[in-house]
Homo-oligomer: A and B are copies of this chain.
Amino acid sequence: MIPDKDFITSKDIPGPTKEEIRCLVMCKSKVSTGDIVVDIGCGTGGLTLEFAKRAKNVYAIDKNSDALDLTLKNLKKHNLEGKVNIVHNDALSALKKIDGLDILMIGGSGGDLEQIIEEGFKKLNDGGKIIVTSILLETPVEAIKILKKFEMNIEVINVAISKGKILERGTIMYSNNPITVITAQK
């Protein structure tokens, strides 16, 4: 994974998704070199860059043009812009123009989670995956409810990671905020 500190950040844009969560999302997505990935709510570009390193093509979508600028800066910094389409649009409109995707990554939905999943499910290739990550209590509950309707195979994990800071007097553990990661396979 790209170290957290190797991303250009902005105080107004969330992210990057922490290294360990990016690692787990890559594992859960089973992304491979032929995959088309759609990353909704790309923010700083943390997951976009990791998918770009592993997939065929990534659509990075955000309503916030500052987020897209930041994602692009990070892609350029790591020489990964070649595989990524930057899409400045709301998720639903953007999804409608894309066919045949393998991984739908939803890191932020702007309140349209149900329509995004419905549209994404239609476009998802067989065996494709929808992944939802959230720091909120509400989003996982809503996502599970929607994904159940499509009779997808759903996995829910909550990840609480703390990191040690090694000082002279000992190792202090600092917690990252817990993240819920939902993975559903078509």
Contacts and interface: CB of A to CB of B under 8 A. Distances in A.
B136 A172 contact: yes
B177 A137 contact: no
Contact of A160 (B135, B160, B166, B170): B160
A173 B163 CA distance: 17
Given A138-B141, A154-B166, A160 B175 contact: yes
Interface stretch (A20-28, A31-39, A87-95): A20-28
A98 interface: no
Given A136-B172, A156-B164, A158-B164, 11 more contacts: A19-B27, A136-B170, A137-B137, A137-B164, A137-B173, A141-B171, A158-B163, A159-B160, A159-B161, A160-B175, A173-B178
Contact of A135 (B154, B172, B176): B172
A63 to B, nearest CB: 14
A139 interface: yes
Interface in A148-186: 148, 154-164, 166, 169-178, 180
A141 to B, nearest CB: 5
A133 B166 CA distance: 17
Return the 4 tightest CB-CB contacts between A and B, nearest first: A156-B164, A136-B170, A175-B175, A23-B27
